[in-house]
Chains A and B, each alone.
Chain A
């Protein structure tokens, strides 16, 4: 089992209420939660409340076969959302994560921090050396998405 923590900080040029609503409302979330063009997120169950359970399927539109189960652990309006997330493919669990989204309003802007603490059941975590190599790939991906996502 491999553990890693991912921290992503963002500043959104939008009021905190809008950013928070985009997380709270599953219909809005489905519009942005697919990580790649042509991919979908389909919610079969959505309960945005402490203790509530979201069940969704995501992946390429033709075969969204990644099962995601999220349980909300802590919610503070316009402040934070903490949930657990288990990812399963073909009946095999790939990972379990604790995901903390922190929202901080600053006038018309929002400071946002996402912390993903993930326990991976599929990756051995022995190849840590080459992380910087991926920053270039991330840049490419961001550019690719920006170019491909004119909607």
Chain B
């Protein structure tokens, strides 16, 4: 399992995999449930799940004879972080600007 942003984004380049991740964002699903929801054959779904698993997005858990898929919160945080980083950067810059303005007595 990698936790590399580039691999993560690459794994999400495929629309079917985005759909699977979107579905798992609502809750954990078994492989069979995903097959039903995404309406593709099981080998195809399994291939996509393997890519997501390798990218670190997906965790598979065996529960008796069912395989439960869920999203890995650590990987989600990595993606979320990227999206939120723009706001954080601008908030931080404006904090700096405020401090800068406060540090000057008069305009030159």
In the complex with contacts A8-B87, A118-B86, A126-B96 CB distance below 8 A: no
- Write out the residue numbers on chain B whose beta carbons fall within 8 Å of the beta carbon of A118: 86
A114 and B87 contact, Cβ closer than 8 Å, known pairs A18-B101, A126-B21, A149-B99: no
**Contact flags (1/0) for A85-118 with B, using CB distance below 8 Å?**
0000000000101000000000000001010101
Is residue B25 contacting chain A, with contact meaning CB distance below 8 A? yes
Q: A22-B100, A151-B103 are in contact. Are A124 and B92 (CB under 8 A)?
A: no
Give the chain A neighbours of B64 by CB distance below 8 A. Answer: none
Q: How many residues of B contact A (CB 8 A)?
A: 34
Residues of B within 8 A of A18 (CB): 101, 104, 107
> Is B63's beta carbon under 8 Å from chain A?
no
Q: Are the CB atoms of B95 and A145 closer together than 8 Å? A: yes
Residues of B within 8 A of A133 (CB): 80
Docked CA distance A124–B78 (Å): 12
Question: Quick check: is A45 within 8 A (CB to CB) of the other chain?
Answer: no
> Could you tell me the distance in whole angstroms from the C-beta of A17 to the nearest C-beta in chain B?
7
**Chain B residues whose C-beta falls within 8 Å of the C-beta of A123 in the assembled complex:** 9, 79, 82-83
Instruction: Name the distance in Å between A117's Cβ and chain B's nearest Cβ.
Output: 11
Partner of B88, one of A22, A114, A141: A141
Please give me the residue from chain A that is nearest to B87 by CB atom.
Answer: A6
- Whether A28 pairs with B100 at a CB distance below 8 angstroms is yes
Query: Chain A: which residue is nearest B85 at the CB level?
Result: A35
Chain A interface secondary structure, helix, strand, loop or mixed? Answer: mixed
Q: Say which size band chain A's interface belongs to.
A: 35 or more
Q: Is A33 an interface residue (CB 8 A)?
A: yes
Residues of A within 8 A of B40 (CB): none
8 Å CB contact of A122 from B9, B25, B99, B100 = B9
Chain B CB count within 10 A is highest, among A12, A35, A131, for A35
Residues of B within 8 A of A (CB): 5, 9, 12-13, 18, 21-22, 25, 76, 79-80, 82-84, 86-104, 107
CB within 8 Å of B: which residues of A? 2, 4, 6, 8, 10, 12-14, 17-19, 21-22, 28, 31-36, 95, 97, 112, 114, 116, 118, 120, 122-127, 129-131, 133-134, 137-138, 141-142, 145-146, 149, 151
Among all A-B residue pairs, the 5 with the closest Cβ atoms: A32-B96, A35-B89, A124-B12, A35-B92, A32-B97
